[in-house]
Chain A
Amino acid sequence: MSRSFSRRLFLQSAGALYALGATPGFLRRAMAAGTRTGRTLVLVFLRGGADGLSIVPPVGDPQYRALRPTLALQPPGSSGGAVRLDDVFALHPALVSLMPLWNEGTLGIVHAAGLTGATRSHFDAQDFCESGTPGLKSTADGWLNRAMQRAPGPEGAFRAVALQPTLPRMLVGDAPAVAMSSLSQFKLPGGTGGTSAFDALYAEAVNTALRTTGLETFEALREAGSAKLAQLPPDHGAEYGKAPLARRLQDIARLVRSGVGLQLAVTEMGGWDTHVGEGAERGQLAQRLGDLGQALAAFRTDLGERWGDVRVVVMTEFGRTARENGNRGTDHGTASVMLVLGGGVRGGRVVGGYRGLARSALFEERDLAIGTDVRSVLWESAAAQLGVEDPSPVFPGFRPTPAVLG
């Protein structure tokens, strides 16, 4: 997507905002920000260890059904079965809403993605995925914050946003970032006048974290208030549904469409720790995937032509055991899948170095082995969307594999 094209779209959306009653002051600032790259990276973290072998089941792998007598999905072609992707892989039927993206080539799948130096603890695995330094717990900041510290682009209250109540570890660090449950709740009583006294109080705070957080907060409040961001309706007839992830992605779409300079958005979805009663075509996992698929599909629809400026990466902390456990569920494993959607993705294919489920191919004879380090996928998208050039400060000591999906 050329820059002039995205700039034109940007001006259109700014015009739409003006019609909704945004102040001229906001418009002036937005116009002045025309030098922005206009690209956005969105990261969706599935917390709990999502089962890649059910999300993108290797229905063509001869071991698959044997390892998962009750969890294996029906092969493509059977009623309600998995949706064919290629000779080996299929998509979970609850994600069928993503097939238009697969067909248009803006959905790519990395199978057997995992973090080298595996740990099966949720806490540690998430920590390492977020710090970007597996095995090293002393890392204070998150990899996305290190990337943002090096990303070109004008300052702005909404450069990096987490749509969740607490700031995720991957965004912790010196680069400013805003966390909020939702745009509609991000306001103070009394409007901008009510904000100024607190602004002054926090400017004097002794505690550095509170002081800098205060500065970020009040700038973002002013901007969100003057732009009436929370009221922007979905475009192109997008239907988000009611799942929490859908509402968060809708807010991210609002930030993208209103041109406030969003470069990075992070959000999360829980409930993937399927030890018991995981389900196959229907059930616990299928329900989660239905919510995920609908939210992502609506997000894509809502963005229209801006979709080319946005890239979404969906990841989890680890995959689950190749063999189902005694409770029709799966235990903590190693590699899983990553979904990469949006602009610049050479999609419509499953990549990643999947080595199969034969006993000898499994990691420690129990888990899908890692074919691609998650950092390679993350780096590729961060470089493309944030304009960061050197991977070494972002992922110290790691050399990314080039061109996974880009």
Chain B
Amino acid sequence: MDLMPRLSATGTLLLVLGCASRPVTPVAPSPDPLPVPAVNWTREEQAVHLLNRLAYGPSPSDLQHVLDLGTGGWIAEQLDPAALDDSVVDRQLDVFPTLTLSTAELIARYPRSKKAKAAQTDGEEVERLNAFRLPRQIGAELVAARLIRATESRRQLEETLVDFWFNHFNVSADKGAVRWMISPYEREAIRPHLFGSFRDLLGAVAHHPAMLFYLDNWASTREGFTAPKRGKLGLNENYARELLELHTLGVDGGYTQSDVREVARCFTGWGIRKPQEDGTFEFHPLAHDRGSKRVLGIEIPAGGGIEDGEKVLDLLAAHPSTAHFLARKLAQKFVADDPSPALVERLAQEYLRTRGDLTAVYRTLFTTAEFWSDAARGSKVKTPLEFTVSAVRALGGNTAGDVAVYQSLTRMGQPLYRALPPTGWPEVAQPWVNPGALVARIDFGLRLASGRLPGTHVQLPALDGAAEASVDRAAAAVLHRPLTAATRATLLAALGASDDQGVFDGEQRKVDGPRLVGLLLGSPEFQNQ
């Protein structure tokens, strides 16, 4: 491993960038259309590509909206989501009480099942019993809200970025107390910082009890520290390592095992106030290691207290390795599984130039030639979430986010909010393409199209003409591209086989609409975006 040359090469830059005060006041996005490179595609093709990447696929209304605004105008609109009225979705989310509660309120109202049971057997009246609900409700409502927003929110880019950044800073509802913290985590740490500076996002995550618990930092103390009720504690490296490897520098970003320990020392004392009761951030000065530290070659003097951690976050957010690591991940999400080094470099430079202004990086990304290249178009396989939501949107549908959708996602390999490892879900195609998942996708498409998915409703395209015309109309509505002759013949044959008995003399054969649409949703073409 050649870590040392890397470190010395970046040392100078670190001094310049790393010790500067917090970077970035986000620049307000221009209301003017963005300059999108000219391409040799039809206007509909451009709009479909844009919606496939910056949104959860084209819905009939969003497609029309992009055509009205033009691609550059629509991107500009999406980069300023606060200006978009989303009250229709907000009203739908009103039925989910857990979405606005703090961790302390969630713990009190949705206690561990043992407590709930105890309450139900202590002989008090029914109203009191009804006040106790199962904690699993918190996860169910969070999943439902995500599905509803992804399907129907006008702020489609925001929802795509929630998916990206939550996954980047993954926490799992399956790890102990995270269950009561995960909804506040998305609301407080992730959503407010999607369009701001990376340093703010990183800081909000680092301070959040969900992350402190998930990666054990709440329990990490200086060596030899004795806590009142818990006895002798000490250093825990878990958060420090993932902070360097997964949140900022990347695994090849030029840090050593010694850096991991030193970063862990800096974050000692970053804890949680009564994790089983209150669950807010709290710095414990007595648990903090007051000695001096050395991180990535930079001296962090003794006695810095909570500022040690803040300095580490400053250093990491400004580091060129972080710029490149984030640039590559964003390019992978929005352009191609294996983006060109030139694109990554360009985004990284924009990140460094703007001191981590995420909106500036997005703007560059969405207006590069690579984003609008023939090679990028239709080249990415949808994740299960993207597939599921894009299917509902393609049919102009809506969902209440019922458990049926969640179960389908689980079968496809993506139980939302339950990715156990800190790496989150994979972004590239390969892990998602396998027989079991394919069967689950096909099954979902057939059930959705035939109206057998509780809580989710779609509108099939009007298909009352001849079989050939119906196939073409349905394909245009679902796939937004003409069928190959072979695929068209396959579909016609499949439809013919299913309703032979229904034909009478002089009467037009009626196409089995749900089956046709189900076939299209399960087809290889619809797995791509």
The residues of A with any CB-CB pair to B shorter than 8 Å are: 47-48, 120-124, 162, 165-167, 169, 172, 177-181, 185-190, 193-194, 196-198, 200-202, 204-207, 209-211, 213-214, 216-217, 220-221, 270-271, 273, 275-276, 325-327, 329, 331-332, 364
Q: Sample 26 A-B pairs with CB under 8 A, ordered by A number.
A: A123-B246, A162-B434, A165-B410, A165-B412, A166-B426, A166-B431, A166-B434, A180-B434, A181-B410, A181-B413, A181-B436, A186-B436, A187-B439, A194-B446, A197-B497, A198-B522, A204-B486, A204-B490, A210-B381, A217-B438, A221-B435, A275-B236, A276-B219, A326-B223, A326-B235, A364-B257
With A165-B411, A326-B225 known as contacts, the answer to whether A185 contacts B235 (CB < 8 A) is no
Report whether over half of chain A's contact residues are helix, strand or loop; otherwise say mixed: loop
Chain B residue nearest to A180 (CB atoms) is: B436
CB–CB B216/A121 < 8 A: no
The 5 closest A-B pairs by CB, nearest first: A326-B234, A180-B436, A205-B524, A165-B413, A197-B494
Chain A residue nearest to B413 (CB atoms) is: A165
CB–CB A331/B528 < 8 A: no
CB–CB B216/A332 < 8 A: no
Q: A123 is contacted by which of B220, B251, B411 (Cβ under 8 Å)? A: B251
Of A122, A196, A200, A201, most B-chain CB atoms within 10 Å: A201
Q: Is B201 an interface residue (CB 8 A)?
A: no
Q: Is B487 an interface residue (CB 8 A)?
A: yes
Q: Please choose the segment from B43-51, B155-163, B365-373, B415-423 that sits at the chain A interface, where 4 or more of its residues have CB less than 8 A away.
A: B415-423
CB–CB A326/B236 < 8 A: yes
Q: Is B433 an interface residue (CB 8 A)?
A: yes
> How distant is B430 from chain A, measured CB to nearest CB, in Å?
6
Residues of A within 8 A of B519 (CB): 197-198, 201
- 8 A Cβ contacts from B208-259 to A: 216, 219-221, 223, 225, 232-238, 241, 245-246, 251, 257
A-B Cβ contacts below 8 A, count: 168
The residues of B with any CB-CB pair to A shorter than 8 Å are: 216, 219-221, 223, 225, 232-238, 241, 245-246, 251, 257, 260, 381, 410-413, 420-423, 426, 429-440, 442-443, 446-447, 484, 486-487, 490-491, 493-494, 497, 519, 522-525, 527-528
CB–CB A120/B241 < 8 A: yes
CB–CB A121/B251 < 8 A: yes
CB–CB A213/B233 < 8 A: no
With A178-B436, A202-B524 known as contacts, the answer to whether A326 contacts B216 (CB < 8 A) is no
Residues of A within 8 A of B434 (CB): 162, 166-167, 177-180, 213
Residues of A within 8 A of B494 (CB): 196-197, 200
> How distant is A204 from chain B, measured CB to nearest CB, in Å?
5
With A120-B241, A214-B524 known as contacts, the answer to whether A271 contacts B420 (CB < 8 A) is yes
> How distant is B514 from chain A, measured CB to nearest CB, in Å?
11
With A189-B446, A209-B430 known as contacts, the answer to whether A204 contacts B238 (CB < 8 A) is no
Residues of B within 8 A of A213 (CB): 433-435, 438
> How distant is B164 from chain A, measured CB to nearest CB, in Å?
18
CB–CB B524/A210 < 8 A: yes
Q: B232 is contacted by which of A189, A201, A326 (Cβ under 8 Å)? A: A326
Residues of A within 8 A of B233 (CB): 326-327
* Assembly CA distance A325 to B484 (angstroms): 61
* Assembly CA distance A227 to B234 (angstroms): 56
Residues of B within 8 A of A186 (CB): 435-436, 439
